[in-house]
Amino acid sequence: MASASRMGIDEGSGDETKGGMWELDQKLDQPMDEEAGRLRNMYREKKFSALLLLRLAFQSLGVVYGDLGTSPLYVFYNTFPHGIDDTEDVVGALSLIIYSLTLIPLLKYVFIVCRANDNGQGGTFALYSLLCRHAKIKTIPNQHRTDEELTTYSRSTFHEHSFAAKTKRWLEAYPFRKNALLIIVIVGTCTVIGDGILTPAISVLSASGGIKVDHPKMSNDVVVVVAVIILVGLFSLQHYGTDRVGWLFAPIVLLWFLLVGGIGIFNIWKYDSSVLRAFSPVCIYRYFRRRKKEAWTSLGGIMLSITGTEALFADLAHFPVSAIQLAFTVIVFPCLLLTYTGQAAYLMQNKEHVVDAFYRSIPESIYWPVFVIATLAAIVASQATISATFSIIKQALALGCFPRVKVVHTSKKFIGQIYIPDINWILMILCIAVTAGFRNQSQIGNAYGTAVVIVMLVTTLLMTLIMLLVWRCHWVLVLVFTVLSLVVECTYFSAVLFKVDQGGWVPLVIAAAFLVVMYVWHYGTVKRYEFEMHSKVSMAWILGLGPSLGLVRVPGIGLVYTELASGVPHIFSHFITNLPAIHSVVVFVCVKYLPVYTVPEDERFLVKRIGPKTFHMFRCVARYGYKDLHKKDEEFERKLFDNLFLFVRLENMMEGCSDSDEYSLYGQQTQNSMDYLLQNKSNPTTGNNTCSSMESIVPVKSPTQGSNTVTSSSGRESSQAEVDELEFLNRCRDAGVVHILGNTVVRARRDSRFYKKIAIDYIYAFLRRICRENSVIFNVPHESLLNVGQIFYV
């Protein structure tokens, strides 16, 4: 009811034109302020019992840490692809691995970046959504102040002269900076998609490579074929969802960590315990002094020890941060240190086995059980990355940065578990192409390292802004975090650049292709929205047509879908000037995605009236977060009409409460606006300034006209008017509902530059043809669908 009463607030009228609906809203909502504040901080305040926290930490192993846990399969081989010359190099490489794991996954991600979640949601777009709520940097300007009243729209305020306020003004000053930030976010997203291709390839191929250890004469082609078969099976099972097999993941990964940790302890005891000196950072200095440029380029292999950290952040939605921190510090981190140290101890005595150091270091008695667990762990690692790819594409889709694709929710319990068929098959084809094309771990490892370090650099840049605008940290702390992160990550980045020609070009090509697709789609979406904004019809023209809109009003309800949250779209004037009839009730429906993870069901719909009651025109704004599921057509319609009827009841209640000076002033301004509009009825493109002020107008009786003496009569009239209008709406609903959608074609102007013509006339047009139609997304049945076409040039 709180959201429905808020429906009567006029978008463009400002504080001076607040009416009785607004006053009732304040009276009804005032006691809920404390509850709203509690809901807004729900995620931060949520506490877990010790037993529940242990259970969640155990479950997080299977979903979050699979990728990071399978890195020991291929790190040492990619660090020394040409063999080991000096055993001291093994100690230096181990020291680099130890401190990389400590600085990046442990300190940066688990204890800092994971705290920068958007109410539990992780990933680059979650960080971007968080920033959009604290600064006006969203490139599609469809936000409104009523959106900020959502319980999930949490944001902090800061002093006008603070460093955060200066940063905010700097970001908002020029469109170029907003676009640059968006491109950075899209680049991060594209490289995460690259991870979704490369992780299954390298993990499954490395695990399958264990067959050759026991059968040295076996051809490498057999290993590749086995890997491809596993990959096809993995991607073919995605449509079942992780919920069906998720209960298996955690025990497999826990067993994997305990096995590799135990084998590590055994190898340290059996081969060479002197490798423990690698915990001294002095070994890193000696390693670089001894190997020079070779040490620098080997960082590309060391980099693979921290892969999976970005997937860790993207999969954050499933578990609380405390559970992830507990699992990493108690199980993951110690077991990884033990397995890398154990492999290094083995290589001190057997440096010629560096190609398959992991499998060679396994005691013979448990070789095949470990091989089976390694293969299962590689599949789990691949699943985690694929799921993260689906999640981040869903976020991009909601924020207008990805073409419309089918999203299937595979679990009724967990809304975050989704499956995107089109993306799944694209990932499978590219993954098989990478596996069969490169055929060895080294080149895939070079490609993988390039993708991972780019995502980390993007996260660092976004985290800098988060610390300034959201956390409001002192600039010195922000500087320390940024400098330390960039020094480590730029060092790794410079190393992987040496291997661009040895496989490192693959993620760059993949990221570039997805970047073009995502940015061109977003550019076309923004231009289409700007066209709608600039060509919307003035209320003066609508009102000049009279209650019948100059047409025959036929029984039924017409739902006109538009991207505008205010004003009458151009498609409507196009419709009524080309057809002889219009429905008795017209509802402009705007489905709007906000930079929040979810919009509560009772706050989803905003309804208001457009023009006088006799016009029977309404607007409904349906608001969604990037994690929300768009319901089926029947349920969406039902909720829309429920909120419409509730609005009519509340509106009529207000007519009997017009006893305030402010409401009287509002009614007087309404009459003045009406007189002005009727004088400008001839031209649909003039009077745009009055459009927003005319919306949500309710004709009222001024207190100066004897409201004190006719209160009971006014109440009876209001009640009768409510019954009459509700009966009218129900009759129209029973007569039939027609969905009117605009089929907008975007073309580049003749004088546009060639790259703009390529982007709009070819790439964007192609994406529009192959992506899902709006009618499919809204689940509109064909028999009740009406498409209205229009062309505009950009």
Tokens of 190: 């594209």
Residue-level pLDDT at 452 = 85
Residue-level pLDDT at 144 = 66
Residue-level pLDDT at 526 = 85
Task: Give the CA radius of gyration of the chain.
Answer: 30
Tokens of 92: 């230096």
CA distance 478 to 59: 33
Residues 673-724: pLDDT tens digits? 334 333 443 444 444 433 333 343 333 333 333 334 344 444 555 566 667 7
Query: Number of C-alpha atoms within 13 angstroms, CB side, residue 49?
Result: 3
Range with the poorest average pLDDT among 31-35, 81-85, 299-303, 608-612: 31-35
CA distance 4 to 183: 37
Tokens of 284: 């890193």
Residue 259 CB: number of other CB atoms within 10 A? 19
Residue 29 CB: number of other CB atoms within 10 A? 17
CA distance 206 to 708: 84
More confident residue, 125 or 39: 125
Residue-level pLDDT at 705 = 37
- At 165 the three-state DSSP class reads helix
Percent helix, strand and coil across the chain, each rounded to 5?
70, 10, 25
Residues sharing a CB contact under 8 Å with residue 310, sequence separation 6 or more, in sequence order? 192, 195, 388, 452, 455, 456, 459
Please identify which residue in the block is written with the tokens 């640059």: 180
What distance lies between CA 56 and its chain's CA centroid?
23
pLDDT > 60? residue 466: yes
Beta strands in 549-697 (DSSP E): 552-561, 581-593, 605-609, 617-624
**Mean per-residue pLDDT for 357-361?**
87
Structural contact between residues 262 and 361, judged by C-beta atoms closer than 8 angstroms: no
End-to-end CA distance of the chain: 42
CA distance 708 to 710: 6
CA distance 471 to 557: 48
CA distance 761 to 748: 6
Helices marked H in 535-569 — which ranges? 539-544
Confidence of residue 226 (pLDDT cuts 50, 70, 90): confident
Residues 382-408: pLDDT tens digits? 877 887 788 888 888 878 888 888 887
**Parallel, antiparallel, or unpaired for β 552-561 and 605-609?**
unpaired
Helices marked H in 215-298 — which ranges? 220-236, 242-270, 282-291, 293-297
Q: Which of 440-444, 458-462, 544-548, 640-644 has the highest average model confidence (pLDDT)?
A: 458-462
Structural contact between residues 624 and 609, judged by C-beta atoms closer than 8 angstroms: no
Residues forming beta bridges with residue 558, ordered by sequence position: 586, 738
Residue-level pLDDT at 684 = 44
Which phi and psi (to 5°) does residue 442 adopt? Answer: -60, -50
CA distance 99 to 347: 20
Residues 421-451: pLDDT tens digits? 888 899 999 999 888 887 666 777 777 788 8
More confident residue, 176 or 540: 176
Residues forming beta bridges with residue 537, ordered by sequence position: 568
- Taking the CA atoms of residue 113, residue 119, residue 124 and residue 128 in that order, the dihedral angle to the nearest 10 degrees is -110
pLDDT mean across residues, the chain: 77
32: buried, middle or exposed (CB in 10 Å: 19+, 13-18, 0-12)? middle
pLDDT > 50? residue 31: no
What pTM did the predictor assign?
0.77
pLDDT > 50? residue 41: no
Task: Give the relative orientation of helices 20-29 and 661-678 as an angle to the nearest 10 degrees.
Answer: 140
Structural contact between residues 605 and 150, judged by C-beta atoms closer than 8 angstroms: no
CA distance 315 to 785: 38
Q: Which of 160-174, 303-317, 365-379, 759-773 has the highest average model confidence (pLDDT)?
A: 365-379
Residues sharing a CB contact under 8 Å with residue 229, sequence separation 6 or more, in sequence order? none
Confidence of residue 140 (pLDDT cuts 50, 70, 90): low
Tokens of 540: 């003066």
